[in-house]
Amino acid sequence: MKFLGGPRLLQGLIVLVVFIGALPALSNELTGDSQAGRSLVASRQKGLCLLCHSGPFPEEPFQGNIAPNLSDLVANLSATQLRARIMNPAITNPQTIMPSYYQPEHLTRVSKPYQGQSILSLKEIDDVVAYLMTLKKE
Ligand code: HEC
C-alpha cells in the first residue's frame, strides 16, 4: 500500500518529530545574565535564597542551613529542571517550604498589594538559572 500522502508527507513528519525531540534541549539554552542572577540569589530583599540555602558567597556572613547548598544541588539538575523548581517547587514536593517564585495564583494569605504578582519575573528567573548553571562543576 502506498503511504498516505507519499514520501513528502513522510519526510515532513520525520522533520517534525526530530524538531519536537530537540525542543527540551532548545529550552535548556541559557539566555539569562548570570551576574544579575548572582545578585538576585544573594539579595535579602528579592531572591532571599540565602535565607534557607548556602552557596559560594564569601561576602554574605549569614547563610541558611535548612536547604541544600546551591553548589551541590545543581549537580544533577538541567537548566530546565532548575527553572521549573524555582518557578514552582511544589511540583516536585507539595510539602516544600520553598516559595514559588513564579506562581501568582492559588496562594494563600497574600497581602493585597502583592496579589496576582510573582516574586520574580521570567527574565529574573532566567538570570538566576544562568547563575546556578555557573556553579556546576565539570
Ligand atoms: C524558605 C526557604 C527557601 C528559600 C527562600 C529558597 N529555597 Fe530553594 N529549597 C528549599 C528547600 C527546603 C529545598 C529542598 C527540597 C524541598 O523541600 O523542596 C529547596 C530546593 C531547591 C531546589 C531544588 C533542589 C532539588 O534537588 O530538587 C532549587 C533549584 C532551589 N531550591 C533553588 C532556590 C533558589 C534559586 C532560591 C532563591 C531564588 C531558593 N531556592 C529559595 C528552601 C528554600
Cell of 127: 538570570
Ligand 1 is surrounded, with C-beta below 6 A, by: 41, 47-49, 51-53, 66-68, 73, 82, 85-86, 89, 92-93, 96-99, 101, 128
Residue nearest (by alpha carbon) to ligand 1 atom 42: 98
Query: Contacts by 117-120 with C-beta closer than 8 Å and gap 24+?
Result: 119/46, 120/40, 120/46, 120/47, 120/86
pLDDT per residue as tens digits for the range 31-53: 899 999 999 999 999 999 999 99
Q: So where are the chain's domains?
A: 32-134
CA of 98 to the centre of ligand 1 (A): 5
Cα–Cα dist 90/129, whole Å: 18
φ and ψ at residue 56, rounded to 5 degrees: -80, 70
Range 90-103 average pLDDT? 91
Residue nearest (by alpha carbon) to ligand 1 atom 17: 96
Task: Choose the weakest-confidence range: 73-77, 86-90, 134-138.
Answer: 134-138
Note the pTM of the prediction, 2 decimals: 0.82
What is the structure's pLDDT at 28?
62
Task: Choose the weakest-confidence range: 65-79, 94-108, 124-138.
Answer: 94-108
Cα–Cα dist 119/2, whole Å: 56
What is the domain class of 32-134 according to CATH?
mainly alpha
Range 127-134 average pLDDT? 96
